[in-house]
Amino acid sequence: MTPVSHAVEIRDLHKHFGKLEVLKGIDFTVDAGQVVCVIGPSGSGKSTLLRCVNLLEQPTSGKVLVEGVDLTDPDADLDAARRRVGMVFQQFNLFPHMTVLENVMIAQRRVLKRGRAEAERIAVENLEKVGVADKRGSYPAQLSGGQQQRVAIARALAMNPALMLFDEPTSALDPELVGDVLTVMRKLAEEGMTMLVVTHEMAFARDVADRVVFMDGGVIVEDGPAEQVIGAPRHERTKSFLRRVLDPTHTDV
Ligand SMILES: Nc1ncnc2c1ncn2[C@@H]1O[C@H](COP(=O)(O)OP(=O)(O)OP(=O)(O)O)[C@@H](O)[C@H]1O
């Protein structure tokens, strides 16, 4: 068996929606244990890129490998590959009629076929990890946005993923709730979780990411350590984007 060198490997990825080419030849890798933050203006293709890694979108061409499994190979075990990838969205997507505990147990029970006691134990363990175990009997509507997002993170972690994708996990939150979610994400990073994070949180990207990828117009413009891409960008497009996000008087990103 060939050794798996990357948690994620993307080669010449293109994605069209009709005539609109949203991804125009993306190449990059994420190694196991790395945190890679993807930044860039609205509409640059960041979410579409993540959705191609999670099979929510089918690439038009190119390759997406997760732990060496080619998701574009019709013979690949796609269910198994999908289970290796956890995803946290901007919206928490919790079932409103289920308690927090049930929300974190349901996929474990249905997809992984875990028994009730085991699923509950793992759910509680992960709710403790994100600091909301005391809310296990509550319904999502009884929780703050930050607590709901932490439940969504616990739900993804309970599936024992090799890789976590985060798509602007704090952008739907009131500013005072953002910190708690970022703290959980920092902890996961410190524990060695492989993470691909689309974010507008530049401080998080600067402090936590092993690499920052700047996307614009469906291409990767810069890919490197945060101190380079955010601290000393080489390209005019990156500089202009960062001027806009780092200057609060600009809101057009
Ligand atoms: N399912 C779809 N059908 C048609 N067009 C789509 C679809 N999904 C995304 N697009 C278009 O693809 C482009 C890139 O969208 P995407 O959401 O990937 O960008 P983004 O960089 O994540 O933006 P944002 O920061 O605003 O979330 C946009 O022009 C969007 O309208």
**What pLDDT is stored for residue 253 in this prediction?**
44
The ipTM, to two decimals, is 0.96
Average confidence (pLDDT) over 96-114: 96
If you ran DSSP here, which 8-state letter would residue 217 be given? Answer: T
47 CA distance to ligand 1 centroid (A)?
A: 7
- 251 pLDDT band (50/70/90 cuts)? low
- Residue 101 — very low, low, confident or very high, per pLDDT cuts 50/70/90? very high
Report d(CA 143, CA 106) in Å as an integer: 19
pTM of the model: 0.93
Average pLDDT on 85-112 reads 95
Q: For residue 81, which of 71, 91, 73 has the smallest C-alpha distance?
A: 71
* pLDDT confidence of residue 248: 62
CA-CA-CA-CA torsion sign (199, 204, 206, 212): negative
Distance 46 CA to ligand 1 centre (A): 8
> Which of 23, 46, 49, 50 most suits a substitution to test ligand 1, by most atoms within 8 Å of the C-beta?
46
Distance (Å) from CA 58 to ligand 1 centroid: 14
Residues with CB under 6 A from ligand 1: 17, 20, 22, 40, 42-48
Structure token digits, residue 2: 């060939």
Res 246: pLDDT? 83
Q: Percent of the chain at pLDDT above 70?
A: 96
Residue closest by Cα to atom 31 of ligand 1: 43
The 10 Å Cβ neighbour count of residue 57 is: 18
- Spatial distance between the Cα atoms of 54 and 85, rounded to a whole number of angstroms: 7
Q: What percent of the chain has pLDDT above 90? A: 84
72 — pLDDT class (breaks 50, 70, 90):
confident
CA of residue 135 to ligand 1 center, whole Å: 34
Q: Kindly state the tokens that stand for 129.
A: 């990890």
What are the tens digits of pLDDT across the range 209-244?
999 999 999 999 999 999 999 999 999 999 999 998
The pLDDT of residue 196 is 97
Pairwise CA distance, residues 42 & 215, whole Å: 10
For residue 77, name the pLDDT band (cuts at 50, 70, 90). Answer: confident
DSSP 20: E
